[in-house]
Amino acid sequence: MAIGAMSGTSLDGLDLILVEFNWQKQALESTISYRILDSKTEVYDEDLKDSLRNAFLINGSELKKLDHELGCFFGRYIREFIQDLSPELRERKIDFIASHGHTVFHNPKEKYTCQIGNGPEISWETGLLTVTDFRTQDVVMGGQGAPLVPVGDKLLFSEFGSCLNLGGFANISFDANSQRLAYDIVPVNILLNYFCEKERLDFDPGGENAEKGKINTSLLRELNAYSFYHKTGPKSLGKEQVEDFYIPLIESFDMSFEDRLCTIVEHAAVQISQVIEPLATKVLVTGGGGHNHFLMDRISSKLHKSHLEKAETTLLEFKEALIFAFLGLLRIQDINNVFASVTGAEQDHSSGIIHRVN
């Protein structure tokens, strides 16, 4: 029994999932199964959203304070989540929490990454063993520190040829030449939500505003020419590229709100379809972007050999939290939970820091 906690770059809130895993350690790949028992998203208030949005601008002592405060928030949210479980579930022992934290900096090229949401605070608030900081070890070992979900994709969703997550960034995971490969493809919700918030909207429901717009072909051409798309994996995207390249370029064009969103969606659809189509597979789609019907339609319109299969609602929204719970399980069992073939690290390894309250 485990709780997975995920705070994404889109700032929707803290995704929490209670999941039961069953497996035999000697044959984990063929025996692992899971059952989702409960899930909830704790929506961030505006003050916390602003703090997280601007965390990369504050000084070291302020960042450390925010790390402490966010750990307290997470611990309190998780404790309340447990208290709100059904009487039957509250009677059962929860073995651990696995928390991704919230990414403030991610620069593997210069060997650093930072996820806040203090693990000892979570463990202290809940009284439960807690696993955090899944990325740092991989970056130290020469990896990108991302994406981390492919281990879960391979072991929990082996019936799909590939797994596409449409979150703040779109990323893909698939098998090739007996190895698991994965990488970030393109920014999605992190850009769409940024421009929606400028219009006092949290997001674009169903892509209805984007669908009203027209594609700006000049902007689309410049976006598609970005050097990142010509690199081979392992590769990852972060807020740094969003702040330094995407937002300034998009804002340099004089266009309507709807046209901005439409062009961002088309750009994402172009980049995603170029990656997916050659795989010729059944693609499991998860992440909040799966609710964006316009985005899904634009991707599908460019596919002929591959087929998108949207996950059911709970899995669609909570797959990353589920997989971080799984990564926590592997870490506690001292089983590799990061593939070098995915991140570019020197070797496969078991990553994450374990916090206990004795």
Mean pLDDT of each 10-residue bin along the chain, 358 residues long? 90 93 81 96 91 93 96 96 97 97 90 94 97 96 91 94 94 91 94 95 95 98 97 84 96 98 98 96 94 98 96 95 97 94 94 92
Enumerate the domain spans of the chain. 2-150+318-355, 159-314
In angstroms, rounded to a whole number, what is the distance separating the alpha carbons of residues 97 and 349?
20
In angstroms, rounded to a whole number, what is the distance separating the alpha carbons of residues 115 and 148?
14
In angstroms, rounded to a whole number, what is the distance separating the alpha carbons of residues 46 and 298?
32
Which of 3.30.420.40, 1.20.1260.10, 3.40.50.720, 3.30.1390.20 is the CATH number of 2-150+318-355?
3.30.420.40
Which of 3.40.50.1820, 2.40.10.170, 3.30.420.40, 3.90.330.10 is the CATH number of 159-314?
3.30.420.40
In angstroms, rounded to a whole number, what is the distance separating the alpha carbons of residues 13 and 31?
33
Pairing mode, strands 169-176 and 162-166 = antiparallel
Would you say the CATH fold of 159-314 matches that of 2-150+318-355?
yes
Pairing mode, strands 96-99 and 102-107 = unpaired
In angstroms, rounded to a whole number, what is the distance separating the alpha carbons of residues 134 and 138?
8
- The predicted pLDDT at position 30 comes to 77
pTM of the predicted model as reported, rounded to 2 decimal places: 0.87
Quote the distance between the C-alpha of residue 291 and its chain's center. Answer: 16
- The predicted pLDDT at position 27 comes to 77
- Helix or strand (DSSP H, E) at 285: strand 282-286
- Token duo for residue 305: 């050999």
Residue 148's closest CA among 356, 355, 349, 353?
349
CB atoms within 10 A of CB 29: 9
In angstroms, rounded to a whole number, what is the distance separating the alpha carbons of residues 140 and 138?
5
